[in-house]
Structure 1
Amino acid sequence: MSSLEYLSIYDSELEGGIPNSFAKLCRLRELDLGGSLSGQLSDFVETLSKCAQMTLESLDISNNPNISGSLPDLTNFLSLKYLSLWAIT
């Protein structure tokens, strides 16, 4: 999966945070996890940012009412152009 560029598991009814293996998605450009996460938002960003921070252009983590915490620093995501966080409580 290291060459994966687009991943959408929107509203997949999966539960939990993202697996540590997401840190190996070094070519990821678009990630849509709307309605699929729970846990700390900072843990999610920390796991993802290890490799994707240079390539990720679009991140959608909207509609995740089971995610908590404040918005972490996203300034390391140098290519990020689209960020959707609506309906996160």
Structure 2
Amino acid sequence: MKLRLGLNDIDTRELPSGFGPRTTAGDVVAGLDLNLSDLASVRAFSACFLATGRSVAMLIGNAAIMAPAGETAEPGLRPARRRGR
């Protein structure tokens, strides 16, 4: 699953590397891509976001990958398993 975080009202001179500024309708928005199936991407995203000094105003906490029984995920990631009834 790939996501893109947008931060508005930010001074682009203070952006960590990895954020790409976009200008739309006079507003500057910085974006950072996140691939939840790649642990290196998750770590890079976290480091860049923490470097901004901002807080998270909203979190959607239901991101998982479904994996067949016996399949493993990358180190540090845990695949979701379907539970029997």
Same fold (TM over 0.5): no
Of the two structures, which has the highest relative contact order with CA contacts closer than 8 Å and spacing of 6 or more? 1
* Structure in which a larger fraction of residues adopt strand: 2
User: Normalising by the residue count of structure 1, what TM-score does the alignment of the two structures yield?
Assistant: 0.30
User: Normalising by the residue count of structure 2, what TM-score does the alignment of the two structures yield?
Assistant: 0.31
